[in-house]
Amino acid sequence: MEATIATNTNDNNWGGGNQKPLGASYGKMMMWFFILSDALTFSGFLGAYGLMRFKFIDSWPIADEVFTHFPFLHDVHAPMYYVALMTFILIFSSVTMVLAVDAGHQMNKAKVTFYMFLTIIGGAIFLGSQAWEWKNFIHGSYGAIKLNDGKIIQFVDAEGHQVTLESFAKEIPSERTQHIKSKGVWFVEEAALPAITVNEVIEGFKEHPELTIRTEQLNTELKKKTIIPRDKAMDYLNESNKVVMGANLKENEYGKTLFADFFFFITGFHGFHVLSGVVINIIIFFNVIIGTYERRGHYEMVEKVGLYWHFVDLVWVFVFTFFYLV
What is the domain-level CATH number for residue 114?
1.20.120.80
Residue pair 278/130 in contact (Cβ under 8 Å)? The answer is: no
Please give the helix or strand (H or E) that residue 242 lies within, else none.
strand 240-244
200-216 CB burial, b ≥16 within 10 A, e <16: bbbebbeebeebbbbbb
Domain limits for position 316: 23-140+259-325
Question: Which of 214, 245, 276 is where one domain is finished?
Answer: 245
Tell me, what's the pLDDT at 175? 62
- Are 274 and 199 contained in the same domain? no
**Does some domain include residue 175?**
yes
- Are 200 and 132 contained in the same domain? no
The total of structural domains in the chain comes to 2
Tell me, what's the pLDDT at 22? 63
Low-confidence ranges of the chain (pLDDT < 70): 1-23, 174-194
Question: Which of 245, 267, 294 is where one domain is finished?
Answer: 245
Question: Which of 184, 210, 245 is where one domain is finished?
Answer: 245
42-56 CB burial, b ≥16 within 10 A, e <16: beebbeebeebbeeb
- Are 100 and 130 contained in the same domain? yes
In the three-class reduction of DSSP (H, G, I as helix; E, B as strand; rest coil), residue 257 is classed as helix
Tell me, what's the pLDDT at 4? 47
- Are 204 and 64 contained in the same domain? no
- Are 132 and 172 contained in the same domain? no
Tell me, what's the pLDDT at 76? 81
Closest of 188, 175, 203, 195 to residue 243, by C-alpha? 195
Closest of 120, 117, 160 to residue 309, by C-alpha? 120
**Does some domain include residue 51?**
yes
Q: How far, in Å, CA of 326 to CA of 255, rounded? A: 17
For strand 224-228 and strand 212-219, is the pairing parallel, antiparallel, or unpaired? antiparallel
Q: How far, in Å, CA of 41 to CA of 86, rounded? A: 23
- Are 27 and 124 contained in the same domain? yes
| pTM of the shown model | 0.85
- Are 155 and 213 contained in the same domain? yes
Closest of 200, 224, 195, 171 to residue 59, by C-alpha? 224
**Does some domain include residue 3?**
no
- Are 38 and 132 contained in the same domain? yes
- Are 121 and 28 contained in the same domain? yes
Q: How far, in Å, CA of 61 to CA of 78, rounded? A: 17
**Does some domain include residue 16?**
no
CA 239, 241, 245 angle in degrees (round to 5)? 125
- Are 134 and 47 contained in the same domain? yes
